[in-house]
Amino acid sequence: MRCGLIALPLMLSACSWSWFGLNSPPRAAAHATGWLRVAPARDFAYMPAQSGRVSPNRIENTAMTGIVLKDNINLAVRESIAEHLKVAGFHLDDGRKVLSGSIEKFSVDDVRSPAIWTLKIRYVVIDAATQKVVFSTTRTVKRKSPKFTSNTVAIEDTVKLSVDALVSDSGFINAVN
């Protein structure tokens, strides 16, 4: 009885569900692996900054003027892409195929809860020897998260969804094998 009295408030609290993993996105299934190198951050153009809409370290936000990071968005996204590819089982020490891209949109709509994070990336795989594009695709992902969450966690989770979409594409797998 006492355990029920203690557990009931935790179970009824919407915030507590995220601690038990019930509010987190589903884990991706194991994917085929491949060999590639992830280009430096300068080769992941952040298009909203290049067009002058935002500074290079700012994510567009509907509720405020923007979310400002210490690092530029292209660096944060590039590092997250590399990390998630490693976790998925890709070998990132081969320079024959190079993954780069352009971040066409990165925004958060947090006027209401939950906040909706949107990331649109155009991924490009280039054969380093010939400099020819061997694969290109654009992936747009949307992720709901609690309104008052860590920006770092929300960015990581959103990029992970994008990488999951990329590595589930058989064309990408064929290009890096």
* Ordered domains of the chain (ranges, CATH): 32-172 (3.40.50.10610)
pLDDT at 28: 42
Region 6-35: mean pLDDT is 46
Q: Please report, for residues 52, 55, 161, 177, the alpha-carbon distance to residue 168 in angstroms, rounded to integers and kept in the order given.
A: 33, 32, 11, 14
Residue in this structure with the two tokens 């590595």, named with its chain if needed: 167
Q: How far apart are CA 84 and CA 89, in angstroms?
A: 9
pLDDT at 147: 79
Q: Which of 73, 75, 74 has the alpha carbon at shortest distance from 59?
A: 73
- Render pLDDT for 128-160 as a digit per residue (tens, 0 to 9): 999 999 999 999 999 998 877 888 899 999 999
CB burial of residue 33 (10 Å; 0-12, 13-18, 19+): middle
| Res. 15: pLDDT tops 60 | no
